Amino acid sequence: MKSAVIARLATLLCVLTLTPVITHAQPAEPYPPLVLGTAWYPEQWPESRWDADLELMHKAGITMVRVGEFAWSRFEPSEGHYELDWLDHAVAAAGRHGIYVVIGTPSAAPPAWLTQKYPETLRTLEDGRRDQHGNRQQFNWANPKYRQLSRDMAEQLAKRFGHNPFVIGWQIDNEYANESYDEATRAQFQAWLKDRYKTLDNLNTRWTTSYWSETYQSWDQVPIQTKYGNPGLLLSWKRFVSDTWRSYQKNQLDAIRAHSDRHQFITTNMMGWFDGYDHYTVSQDLDLASWDDYVGQGQLDRYSNGAAHDLTRGFLRKNFWVMETQPGAVNWQKINNALDKGEVRAMAWHDIGHGADAVSYWQWRSALNGQEQYHGTLVGTDGTPVPLYAEVAQLGKEFVKAGPTLAGTSVRSDVAILHSYDSRWAINWQRHNNTYDPVAELVSYYKPLRDLSQSVDIVNPSAPLTQYKLVVAPGLNVLSDAEAKNLIAYVEQGGNLVLGQRSAMKDGDNTLQTERQPGPLVSLLGGRVDQYYALIDPVPVSGDWGTGTSQQWAELLSTKDPDTKVLMRFGKSNGWLDDQPAAITRKVGKGSITYIGAYLDPASMTKAAKWMLDMSNVQPKLGTVPEGVDVYPREGPHGKVYILVNFATTPQTVTLPTSMQDVLNDTTTTTVTLPTYGVSVLTPTR
Ligand code: GAL
């Protein structure tokens, strides 16, 4: 009781002493290099409660709150009447507690008056029904009226907060996800096609519409198809969707830019492996990529989650933010188990290791009503900490301690994996084997490459590649001419390219390549795919990478060029594949090109990865570590930093290659012993 009184007094004193700073103010310092944040919804609580919440945040080392992203009905209670004073008070209150603010534009949750007055702003579902008020994301992203209203809203916010020194950035909307299938949107799609294909003859040829009498004689005949349809049409719709999200975003982004300080970043929170639109297209206008990282059911899968981090880092090819992550548990899975004690902290360091500069928990406190009453939080309904709060507070201290060492550092990899939405969509539309998941395929390559090299970038096939010693393209099913040129140039300049199964089957229109796979890379490879086979049972493979199996898929390869070598062969299976090449490689000057036609089992994939790294001369960034220990190297102008996290179920000891400063413990050491979920931040002693 006594300590509670002292704490309250301390809060009051702190508030009183800091009050004068608020109004004219500048924050005492720029925002920290490692940001610990939370989603805060001041509009759900009386203003008299805010200081207590902010003080508790401050005590946990929280330095950022994201606010406002669903508050449209509070910002604009009726058309054209804006009420932003409350947010001004909330931002000032946060500033008093040394907490910076990211403002979300509220367009993911339009108010009832808006969609009632302008029903065309509601999206139309694929079955023709109109969505309704009461959830979120019910808006039509292509509708001009909705764009005007959401732009006006964003502009009001930017005019008011664009130069507020406590506001460090903007999040546009929230998790773009839903399209609309109304007639006006379809007309926009048809106009988009006309702009892209110019003539119907061109479109008909490139989509081979003589098939099933699909030929179009006027643009308004073209339908929207999303799952089963002409592959050229399916891909075009997805590209239209992506471009429309980009212009939807730009509409608000331009309004914010026009009225805000250039130091305020603009981002949107994306969703890891979600493939509703091409994230490379949508990211290009942003200052910062960010994503919402939820484990959901089970425990953290450090490979698929780590790859999702690397994917997000690849959108703008620089550090990113984790704008939302779960404080323990979510509410939307079949079983919403909590992460283990220590796992939330371990996950935060895994995020930072992959290049995140911020980790922000969704959410601070549960709204008393609303759809997410069961979701994890940092304080309970009574406004006092839940058990996890202490773990987050530990992170808060650690972020302060390690911040200066990690400031200005980023991830630098020798290995890149190529990822393309076109290819993922194309495979998913025609999996041919229903168990074939292109993300799982990518992760099957990622896992051993990450373990053995300790750092992997994931970038799109048109990204600059010359900095990489090894580029691996699993399932690069759709390969445009420009992308093919990029890959050929990379190999000819001495790079090592490895193509995984199902690569380069289609061109940029999702049309089959006439040279068979890998299309424009056949002559560079000096070989090709003669036939592909969907498999019910795994088939044996053997060769330079030992003996193992190919699962789900097998591509019978052939070599034409005498320099092209066979690395692996299929064993006895369906007769067609027996003893035929399963992986081939060819040296091209100082570079090389390899094609793997087998979907290798994990042990064989590890050997294949070792071969790829050895021939490309890639070393592990830190050196060998015990199984279960993840190494996350970051580099900056002042040298290297290694974050280690132990995900094994027993303590592990890592012998370091040189003497290092243990940043969190203020010691110098040549070995570290980590308990399960233990973390170490190390930098070589100078
Ligand atoms: C995210 C969303 C948040 C919250 C969270 C719950 O997808 O952006 O607003 O709903 O899920 O896990």
pLDDT digits (tens, 9 = 90+) for 554-563: 999 999 999 9
255-305 residue pLDDT tens? 999 999 999 999 999 999 999 999 999 999 999 999 999 999 999 999 999
Q: What is the Cα–Cα distance from 343 to 346, expressed in whole angstroms? A: 5
For residue 8, pLDDT over 80 is answered with no
For residue 12, pLDDT over 50 is answered with no
- Across residues 230-255, what is the average pLDDT? 98
Q: What are phi and psi of 670, to 5 degrees?
A: -115, -5
174-184 residue pLDDT tens? 999 999 999 99
Inter-CA distances, 547 with 37, 542, 600, 629, Å: 49, 4, 10, 27
Q: What is the Cα–Cα distance from 39 to 394, expressed in whole angstroms? A: 19
Answer yes or no: 324 catalytic. yes
For residue 2, pLDDT over 80 is answered with no
Nearest to 444 by CA among 417, 421, 463: 417
For residue 221, pLDDT over 50 is answered with yes
Residue 25 has a pLDDT of 63
Sorting pLDDT into bands at 50, 70 and 90, what band is 21? very low
Inter-CA distances, 530 with 14, 498, 553, 554, 555, Å: 73, 18, 14, 11, 7
- Across residues 64-70, what is the average pLDDT? 98
CA of 67 to the centre of ligand 1 (A): 13
| Nearest-atom index, ligand 1, CA of 332 | 12
What DSSP assignment string belongs to 580-631? -EEEEEEEETTEEEEEE-EEE-HHHHHHHHHHHHHHTTPPPSS----TTEEE
**What is the dihedral sign for C-alpha 41, 46, 51, 56?**
negative
CA of 271 to the centre of ligand 1 (A): 10
Assess contact for 305 and 343: CB atoms under 8 A.
no
Q: Is 66 in the pocket of ligand 1 (CB under 6 A)?
A: no
Give Cβ neighbours of residue 144 (< 8 Å, ≥ 6 apart): none
Q: Which long-range contacts (CB under 8 A, 24 or more apart) does 270-274 make?
A: 270/175, 270/176, 270/312, 270/315, 271/175, 271/177, 272/305, 272/308, 272/311, 272/312, 273/304, 273/308, 273/311, 273/439, 274/177
Q: Is 292 in the pocket of ligand 1 (CB under 6 A)?
A: yes
CA of 134 to the centre of ligand 1 (A): 16
Instruction: Pick left, alpha or beta for residue 355 (phi over 0 → left; psi -120 to 50 → alpha; otherwise beta).
Output: left
Take residue 9 and report the two structure tokens written for it. 């007094």
Sorting pLDDT into bands at 50, 70 and 90, what band is 409? very high
Catalytic site residue from 69, 76, 155, 175: 175
Q: Is 345 in the pocket of ligand 1 (CB under 6 A)?
A: no
Residue 325 has a pLDDT of 98
Q: What is the Cα–Cα distance from 412 to 636, expressed in whole angstroms? A: 9
Inter-CA distances, 623 with 170, 452, 453, 626, 643, Å: 40, 9, 9, 10, 13
| CA-nearest residue, atom 5 of ligand 1 | 362
616-653 residue pLDDT tens? 999 999 999 999 999 999 999 989 999 999 999 999 99
Name the helix (H) or strand (E) containing 478: none
Average pLDDT of the chain, as a whole number? 96
Residue 27 has a pLDDT of 86
Name the helix (H) or strand (E) containing 304: helix 302-316
DSSP count for the chain of H helices, then E strands = 18, 25
CA of 294 to the centre of ligand 1 (A): 9
What DSSP assignment string belongs to 46-66? -HHHHHHHHHHHHHTT--EEE
Q: Is 175 in the pocket of ligand 1 (CB under 6 A)?
A: yes
Q: What are phi and psi of 642, to 5 degrees?
A: -120, 125
User: Mutation test of ligand 1: which of 173, 270, 292 has the most ligand atoms closer than 8 Å to its C-beta?
Assistant: 292
CA of 311 to the centre of ligand 1 (A): 20
Q: What is the Cα–Cα distance from 19 to 473, expressed in whole angstroms? A: 56
DSSP annotation of 105: P
Give Cβ neighbours of residue 471 (< 8 Å, ≥ 6 apart): 415, 416, 417, 418, 465, 487, 490, 495, 496, 497, 498
Q: What is the Cα–Cα distance from 233 to 227, expressed in whole angstroms? A: 10
Write down the H helix ranges in 208-267. 231-258
Amino acid at 160: R
Q: What is the Cα–Cα distance from 166 to 128, expressed in whole angstroms? A: 45
Q: Is 324 in the pocket of ligand 1 (CB under 6 A)?
A: yes
**Residue 464: how many CB atoms within 10 A of its CB?**
11
Q: What is the Cα–Cα distance from 346 to 460, expressed in whole angstroms? A: 29
Nearest to 558 by CA among 589, 586, 600, 520: 586
Higher pLDDT, 660 or 11: 660
Strand partners, 130: 124
Instruction: Please state whether beta strands 581-588 and 652-662 pair in parallel, antiparallel, or not at all (unpaired).
Output: unpaired
491-508 residue pLDDT tens? 999 999 999 999 999 999
Catalytic site residue from 324, 343, 483, 555: 324
Q: What are phi and psi of 552, to 5 degrees?
A: 70, -30
Report, in angstroms and rounded to the nearest whole number, the Rg of the chain calculated over CA atoms: 27
Q: Is 290 in the pocket of ligand 1 (CB under 6 A)?
A: no
Give Cβ neighbours of residue 664 (< 8 Å, ≥ 6 apart): 398, 401, 402, 679, 680, 681
- Across residues 400-418, what is the average pLDDT? 98
Q: What are phi and psi of 337, to 5 degrees?
A: -65, 155
| CA-nearest residue, atom 3 of ligand 1 | 362
What DSSP assignment string belongs to 147-201? HHHHHHHHHHHHHHHTT-TTEEEEE-SSS-------HHHHHHHHHHHHHHH-SHH
Assess contact for 417 and 407: CB atoms under 8 A.
no
Residue 22 has a pLDDT of 37
Instruction: Please state whether beta strands 679-684 and 639-646 pair in parallel, antiparallel, or not at all (unpaired).
Output: antiparallel
Q: What are phi and psi of 678, to 5 degrees?
A: -70, 150
Collapsed DSSP state (helix, strand, coil) of residue 477: coil
For residue 663, pLDDT over 80 is answered with yes
pTM of this prediction exceeds 0.85: yes
Q: H/E/C letters for each residue in 192-211?
A: HHHHHHCCHHHHHHHCCCCH
Q: What is the Cα–Cα distance from 557 to 265, expressed in whole angstroms? A: 49
Residue 509's Cβ-side half-sphere holds a number of Cα atoms within 13 Å equal to 17
Inter-CA distances, 152 with 31, 107, 218, Å: 29, 11, 36
Relative orientation angle of helices 302-316 and 438-453, to the nearest 10 degrees: 90
C-alpha angle 100-101-102 in degrees, rounded to nearest 5: 135
Residue 23 has a pLDDT of 45
28-66 residue pLDDT tens? 788 999 999 999 999 999 999 999 999 999 999 999 999
For residue 14, pLDDT over 60 is answered with no
For residue 334, pLDDT over 50 is answered with yes
- Across residues 101-105, what is the average pLDDT? 99
Collapsed DSSP state (helix, strand, coil) of residue 370: coil
CA 359 to chain centre: 14
